[in-house]
């Protein structure tokens, strides 16, 4: 007796993308798959989801390759289109997608009915943020003061520390910055100057955030110094090895981070 094995198409993961051994099939391509099932053509499906005809054909080829089995049986029909239908495996993917979307909608409705989910979802979005800058701090806008070209934005960090940033008026307008607005302050570690807390050195830097050294990672040329700020946030700073030695920094040393207002980048969650 001969046993046949169904090809393994992949595994669904939230937010409803299809992960295969060869790569991921995005939600947009899954939407194309569902549209092909509805319209019976690649051109019609492309129009339905706002994709170009060529991009749709490329996506179909990619999905068939990534899935390891044919999901879409298609026939070129010139620029006007051509017939297309889903294979048994393709139909199962679309059916599973519809059932998962329905389950997800019911699940989210249940969570919202049991409590306020908005804050948790906002937190999840922030945790997913990626940046090449070492420091990303959450804050709330206290005030916005427009100048001739630039705008000064005063923030209150989640730990209570104050922070001042200078951005262009256009950027402030594009980000819709206003008192009460939640923002992320992005600061590269190499843009921060360190000084001992008892140093009365005058500086043109607008921001002075003080705390204690919690960790030092020293290299041959540079060193990373991590501070615990009074408000509870952490701040990573890159200084030269020579500066590390001259300041005599060790864990527990009280220091202040000096940051120019123009060296702070502001971001908002869309």
Separation of CA 190 from chain center? 22
Same domain for 240 and 192, yes or no, is yes
Same domain for 95 and 140, yes or no, is no
Q: Which of 59, 82, 114 is the endpoint of a domain?
A: 114
Q: Are 263 and 151 in the same domain?
A: yes
End position of a domain, from candidates 55, 85, 114: 114
CATH code for the domain of 55: 1.10.10.10
Average pLDDT value for the chain: 83
In a domain, 127, yes or no: no
pLDDT at 239 over 80: yes
**Is the domain of 157 the same as that of 255?**
yes
27 and 150 fall within a common domain: no
pLDDT in tens, 3-24: 445 556 666 555 666 676 666 7
171 and 263 in a single domain? The answer is yes
CB atoms within 10 A of CB 269: 12
Q: Let me know whether 187 and 260 are in one domain.
A: yes
Total number of domains constituting the chain: 2
Is residue 119 in a domain? Answer: no
Q: Is 192 exposed, middle or buried (0-12, 13-18, 19+ CB in 10 A)?
A: buried
**Of 108 and 140, the one with more pLDDT:** 140
Where is average pLDDT lowest: 146-150, 197-201, 239-243, 247-251?
197-201
Do 146 and 202 belong to one domain? Answer: yes
Of 114, 148, 175, which closes a domain? 114
Query: Could you tell me if residue 37 is inside a domain?
Result: yes
Q: 107 and 153: one domain?
A: no
Mean pLDDT for 256-268 is 92
If asked whether residues 153 and 252 sit together in one domain, one would say yes
Q: Which of 29-38, 67-76, 217-226 has the lowest mean pLDDT?
A: 67-76
166 and 232 assigned to the same domain: yes
Q: What is the reported pTM? A: 0.54
Residue 2 belongs to some domain of the structure: no
Whether residue 35 lies inside any domain: the answer is yes
Contact (Cβ atoms closer than 8 angstroms) between residue 76 and residue 82:
yes
Quick: pLDDT tens for 121-137.
Answer: 555 555 555 545 678 88
Domain presence at residue 4: no
What CATH number does the domain containing 213 carry? Answer: 2.40.50.100
- Are residue 165 and residue 107 in the same domain, yes or no? no
Whether residue 143 lies inside any domain: the answer is yes
Residue 120, in any domain of the structure? no
Domain span holding position 83: 11-114
């Amino acid at each position: 007796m001969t046993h046949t094995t169904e090809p393994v198409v992949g595994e669904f993961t939230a937010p409803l993308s299809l992960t295969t051994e060869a790569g991921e099939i995005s939600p947009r391509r899954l939407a194309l798959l569902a549209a092909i099932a509805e319209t019976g053509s690649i051109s019609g499906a492309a129009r339905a989801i706002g994709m170009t005809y060529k991009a749709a054909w490329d996506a179909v080829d990619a999905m068939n390759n990534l899935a390891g089995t044919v999901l879409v049986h298609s026939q070129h029909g010139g620029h006007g289109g051509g017939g297309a239908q889903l294979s048994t495996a393709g139909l199962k993917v679309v059916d599973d997608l519809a059932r998962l979307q329905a389950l997800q909608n019911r699940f989210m409705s249940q969570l919202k009915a049991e409590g306020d989910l908005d804050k948790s979802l906002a937190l999840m979005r922030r945790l997913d943020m990626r940046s090449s800058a070492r420091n990303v701090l959450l804050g709330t806008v206290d005030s916005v003061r427009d100048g001739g070209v630039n705008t000064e934005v005063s923030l209150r960090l989640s730990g209570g520390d104050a922070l001042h940033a200078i951005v262009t008026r256009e950027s402030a307008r594009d980000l819709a910055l206003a008192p009460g607005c939640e923002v992320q302050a992005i600061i590269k570690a190499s843009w921060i100057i360190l000084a001992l807390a008892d140093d009365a050195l005058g500086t043109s830097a607008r921001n002075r955030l003080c705390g204690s050294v919690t960790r030092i990672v020293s290299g041959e040329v540079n060193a990373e110094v991590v501070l615990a700020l009074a408000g509870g946030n952490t701040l990573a700073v890159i200084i030269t090895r020579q500066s590390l030695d001259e300041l005599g920094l060790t864990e527990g040393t009280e220091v202040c981070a000096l940051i120019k207002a123009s060296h702070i980048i502001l971001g908002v969650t869309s």
